[in-house]
Structure 1
Amino acid sequence: MNYQEIEANKNISDFIKLFWQFDNTNEEEKRYTVLPDGYFDLVIRISKNKIIDVTLYGIWLKQMDVIIPNDSIVIGVTFKPISAEYIFTNPISEIVNDLKILDNTFQGIDKLPLNNFKLFVIEYSNNLKNNIKIDNRKVEVFNILHKNFGVITVEELSNKVFWKSRQINRYFNSTFGLSLKTYANILRCSISFKDIEKGKLSPSLGFYDQSHFIKEIKKHSGSNPKELHQNKNDRFLQFSTLHKL
């Protein structure tokens, strides 16, 4: 199993976090558990240089089990939430904890060089519109959330971006299918997953105590911190890929 990823260039970094690819040249399929991270993904599965399917995965609030078929390549584009409105021009609220199968010709994917990951990234990036006018309040909302690791109240965020709390919550619920509070908690747990992978099994990001920390981590991952850290059989995909970079 070969894994590689490429960060989005500055021109599209408001919308895309990164591009990634798994190349499973083994004779056996690979099974993993993916942990929620606050992003959503466009995933292309390829076998024998032909597209098997193109799938849009929404924002997940819990762990997700995935299968990477044998003798296949999986290419993914990890989108920042704000791109749902500006790139896809549709909310992703209907696919929270879910997915949507798209046509193989979606965004002209079938015309891109799927057998050359670096070239795919360049051409996909170039195809995106670069003159989109963005509501700066929305950009700032996510910048502040990430800067504070999700540890911030709706009221504090509202005061920083000069946007009413009710309007922010309406934006999150209508566009992403979850409240700002829920999204912030997903973000906080996602940061904690990285600490857990390093062996830090105690809370450090605004959890009330160890019990609250364990409860929230298990709610969003299906496992307690110790089980996550052990990562038996390389089960957790993010933990496994960290060692490949």
Structure 2
Amino acid sequence: MNPAVNEWPKGVLHLAGSEQKFSLMRYAPSAETEYFVQHYWIVRWDLRGREPYHQTVIAHPNVNVVFEKNCTRIYGVGKSTTVRVVQDHGWVIGIKFKPGGFYPFLGDPVSRLTDSSVPLEEVFGMESRGRERFILSAPDDQSMVSRVEAFLVERLPEKDPNVSLVHEMVLSFRDDRSVVRVEDAVRLTGMNKRAMQRLFDRYVGVSPKSVIKRYRLHEAAMRIDQGEVADWLDLSTELGYYDHSHFIRDFKSIVGMSPEEYRKKVEKVAAPGQ
């Protein structure tokens, strides 16, 4: 059985306002697939008789394979926010690969998938409709995850040591708030800047700078969503920004609005009657 992953889903914006629109469950991979896979996720919704809901997400530096009715695809890393329209009723299941974890399946630089998606057939060389129906017809979450895992296990590539290297680097960027610039990442890892950029282009699909920025903004958005921010200067300093205006620019470049505008929108969405 795949245990559920219980943690705040960073990157899902305006989470308080989305709680009545859909459910999100995440499940850990098995020992067979955990070298490549971060977790599996399932979203279910029932908006019959209600308005469609637009959910905004700051993409993580991960490739996702998503099984969805008539729309099963492989999604590369987005450079900014993406919007998913949830309407009527349904469910999807996704495989969220570790940063770098999809490269051994693809065999090409993951950057060719950045800001785009491709059909399952393009990478796995198979007709996807039958497999899509089989997976989505599972009677419960655990059965659906088991069917997705079986699909993946049949196609597991050889383990590539760079997958572990990239994953560890990305985790260190996420957890060490002193890493705000690529130069900080170079200092932390000891890797040449150009070599790091080539590695990330090939295995992650976006630059080290982009990875660092989005993790800082995931944290900022989560803190705002949870109502924990009292002062923008304090927040930017806690996230490792020495220049407050740098934080504001980064936030706006990814989210599309300033932190203050985002907070006002969160408060509006969460207000009774909204």
Give the TM-score category using the shorter length: 0.7 to 0.9
RMSD over aligned Cα atoms: 3.0
Q: Which moved more, 1:55-64 or 1:110-119?
A: 110-119
Shift of residue 131 of structure 1? Answer: 6.1
Q: Find the residue that maps to 2:60 and give its secondary structure.
A: coil
Structure 2 partner of 1:187? 215
| Deviation readout 1:104-161 (Å, 9 max, x if unpaired) | 6189444435432221213323443386243343333223223325825545545655
Number of equivalent positions: 229
Out of 210, 222, 225, the position equivalent to 2:259 is 225
Q: Which of 67, 70, 92 is 2:88 aligned to?
A: 70
CA contact (8 A) 2:110 2:201 kept: no
- Residues in 1 aligned to 2:29 and 2:112: alpha-carbon distance in whole angstroms: 29
* Residues 92 and 131 (structure 1), Cα distance of their counterparts in 2 relative to 1, 3 Å cut: closer
Query: Share of identical aligned residues, percent?
Result: 19
Give the direction of change, closer, same or farther, for the CA distance of 1:156–1:30 in structure 2 (3 Å limit): closer
Map 1:111-150 → 2, pairs under 5 A: 111-112=134-135, 114-115=137-138, 116-126=140-150, 127-128=152-153, 129=156, 132-135=159-162, 136-149=164-177
Q: Secondary structure at the match of 1:39?
A: coil
What pairs with 1:95-174 in structure 2 (closer than 5 Å)? 95-103=113-121, 105=128, 108-112=131-135, 114-115=137-138, 116-126=140-150, 127-128=152-153, 129=156, 132-135=159-162, 136-149=164-177, 151=179, 154=182, 157-158=185-186, 161=189, 163-174=191-202
1:221 partner letter: V
Between 35-44 and 145-154, the greater mean CA deviation after superposition:
145-154
The residue matched to 1:206 in structure 2 has which SS? Answer: coil
Unaligned runs of 5+ in 1: 46-50, 235-245
Taking structure 1 as the reference length, the TM-score comes to: 0.77
Unaligned runs of 5+ in 2: 1-20, 122-126
1:82 and 2:100 matched: yes
- TM-score w.r.t. length of structure 2: 0.70
Once the two structures are TM-superposed, the CA of residue 30 in structure 1 deviates from its matched residue by 2.3
CA distance in 1, matches of 2:247, 2:181: 18
Contact 1:62 1:220 in 2 (8 A): yes
Which is further off, 100-109 or 69-78? 100-109
Kept in 1: contact 2:74–2:120 (CA 8 A): yes
Shift of 1:85: 0.9
Say whether the 8 Å CA contact 1:5–1:18 is kept in structure 2: no
Match among 21, 42, 48 for residue 42 of structure 2: 21
CA-CA distance at 1:192 after TM superposition:
2.0
Aligned-partner SS, 1:67: strand
Choose the corresponding residue for 1:198, options 220, 226, 231.
226
Partners of 1:149 and 1:84 lie apart in 2 by 26
Instruction: Give the Cα–Cα distance (whole angstroms) in 2 for the partners of residues 227 and 188 of structure 1.
Output: 18
Q: Which amino acid aligns with 1:20?
A: W
Cα distance in 2 for partners of 1:167, 1:10 equals 32
Distance 1:124 1:80, change over 3 A: same
- Could you give the per-residue CA deviations for residues 142-193 of structure 1, whole angstroms, max 9, x where no partner exists? 2322332582554554565564332221111244443212221122222222
Post-superposition CA distance 1:9-61 (Å, at most 9, x none): 3623443222222222222432221223322322222xxxxx22112221122
Q: Distance in 2 between matches of 1:117 and 1:171?
A: 35
Write the letter of the residue equivalent to 1:186: R
Measure the CA separation in 1 of the matches of 2:166 and 2:257.
Answer: 33
Tell which deviates more after alignment, 170-179 or 214-223.
170-179
Residues 31, 66 of structure 1: 8 Å contact kept: yes
1:7 matched to which residue of 2? 27
Normalized per residue, which structure has more strand? 1
- How far apart are residue 219 of structure 1 and its match? 0.6
SS state of the match for residue 33, structure 1? strand
